[in-house]
Structure 1
Amino acid sequence: MRAASTASLVAAAWLAAGAVGAAEGGDASVFARCAGCHEVGPAAKDRIGPHLNGLFGRRAGAHAGFAYSESMQRAGNDGLIWTAATLDAYIENPRALVSKTRMSFRGLASAQDRADLLAYLRRFSDDPSDLPEAEPTARGVDHDIDPSILALRGDPEYGEYLSAECVTCHRVDGGDTGIPSITRWPTEDFVVAMQAYKRALRPHPVMQMLAGRLSDEEIAALAAYFHEIK
């Protein structure tokens, strides 16, 4: 029931925004929570974060002239595009898509607030009527991770056994040679990231394939192993 109600809220906001066009739609008051770091509108400038004009359909980390974190640049290079689905997941929990994002915002838990915010931001894309999210067939997606998945306690020894494929790319000593380190990573961050790959929110095709082969228990075991490496 929760997933269905969340999807309905997000979808309703997209349909409402598509129906009224660029003059209305969404709730500007929700944007006040973002305004400490971001601007949007005709006179918007980059601040602590980039301005959010033209956000929909843009590749992550691609706004010219802004100094993005390495993690955001990697996400964009992997193919992350800001759409209704990816923005909804990012605003709910920024770490779901970009693990080491510099954005300190903890996320919006309310599906209604996220829907209102994104419908408002859509006004400032070049032509909202042409965006896929404005189509009548568009549907929102609930990206909540079941708390029981986050509560799983992984077995580090089993995680070490499973890690052979991981360490062909990721260095156990925590070094970063173009591939981000996952050593000593907080277990919740590890699980959130892997679940995002399983749901194809994070776009890296190899990681999607690897995560898709793992059970929730195996992901928890890997998270425990990499977190505890000395």
Structure 2
Amino acid sequence: MSRLLTLILAANVVAGISFAEEIGDAEAGKKIFSSCKGCHQIGAGAKDRIGPHLNGIFGRRAAAHDGFAYSNSMQRAGNDGLIWTVETLDAYVENPRALVSKTRMSFRGVKDAADRANLLAYLRGFSANPSNLPEAEPTARATDHDLDPEILALKGDPEYGEYLSSECLTCHQSDGSAEGIPSITRWPVEDFVVAMHAYKRKLRPHPVMQMMAGRLNDDEIAALAAYFKDLD
């Protein structure tokens, strides 16, 4: 019986290594993680620091790690249904504001896709493995979701944005107050555009925002961003 248990555990370790290679190079990812160590720990005995420890991050709902004081924005993302998968972690590591606009994580992101894949392969080794890897969530790898730089470069028409803003203002307050619903008044244009396209691609999980963003084209999102940026 003891020998059987040993064989099962060994098989699980091999499966975990095999899956890590599907994402990227875990050994290379370990080196990349060195830049995260100032805030996060991972592995045996890991504890929360400035940021939560990252054991078991795959498949976990955002802000669900007990005992850590998450920002209001991260808690809201978790309440909206944000789950940490390969796709959502990749988007967050690339640009934290893409998923959580006011995250407290003071990190500009990893822009190189290969570096992100390697980092996620390393992190994946500290989470439990679902039975049907690598096809199913939380480890399914989606197609590239990078936002086209040409979309960020669009110059929106604030007057057109004002015309489009009525639906936004049925929930969001024009004076910038945020009682239960985050403010979008005086948001930087890039933050607004990145967030809206994240809803449009269903990276951010709020179903109403996904529906609203899905109705808008690139120019309309740029126009709304230009309007709300300077709204008094």
What TM-score do you get using the length of structure 1 for normalisation?
0.87
Q: 2:200 aligns with which of 191, 198, 201?
A: 198
Percent identity at matched positions? 70
Matched, 1:152 2:139: no
User: Pick from 205, 221, 226: which aligns with 2:223?
Assistant: 221
Can you give the 5+ residue segments of structure 1 that lack an aligned partner in the other structure? 1-13
> Which residue number in structure 1 is paired with residue 179 of structure 2?
177
- The aligned runs of 1:49-64 (5 Å cut-off) are 49-64=51-66
Q: Residues 79 and 204 of structure 1 are in contact (CA less than 8 Å); yes or no, is this contact kept in structure 2?
A: yes
SS at match of 2:224: helix
- Offset at residue 16 of structure 1 (A): 6.5
Relative to 1, partners in 2 of residues 1:212 and 1:102: Cα closer, same or farther, differing over 3 Å? same
Assess, with a 3 A threshold, how the Cα gap between structure 1 residues 16 and 199 changes in structure 2: closer, same or farther: farther
Aligned residue number for residue 91 of structure 1: 93
Amino acid at match of 2:19: G
Instruction: Determine if the alignment matches structure 1 residue 135 to structure 2 residue 120.
Output: no
Q: Which runs of 5+ in 2 are unaligned?
A: 1-14
Please identify runs of 4+ aligned residues in structure 1 that moved more than 6 A.
Answer: none
Query: Where in structure 2 are the equivalents of 1:120-131 lying within 5 Å?
Result: 120-125=122-127, 127-128=128-129, 130=130
Structure 2 CA distance for partners of 1:64 and 1:174, relative to 1, 3 Å: same
Residue deviations 1:187-225 (CA, integer Å, cap 9, x gap): 000000000000000001110010000010000000000
Alignment-mate amino acid for residue 75 of structure 2: Q
C-alpha displacement of 1:133: 5.5
Within the candidate set 8, 25, 36, 2:38 is matched to 36
Give, as a single letter, the amino acid of the residue that structure 1 aligns with 2:126.
F
Shift of residue 33, structure 1, vs aligned partner: 1.3
Per-residue CA shift, 1:34-66, capped at 9, x if unaligned? 111100001110000000001000000111000
Counterpart CA distance in 2 for 1:201 and 1:217 is: 20
**Cα 1:20–1:112 shift into 2, 3 Å:** closer
Partner secondary structure for residue 60 of structure 1: coil
Structure-2 separation of matches of 1:132 and 1:107: 30
SS, match of residue 119 in structure 1: helix
Contact 1:84 1:133 in 2 (8 A): no
- Please state whether the residue corresponding to 1:31 is helix, strand or coil: helix
Q: Could you tell me how far 1:135 is from its partner in structure 2?
A: 3.3
Question: Retained in 2: the 8 A contact 1:15–1:134?
Answer: no
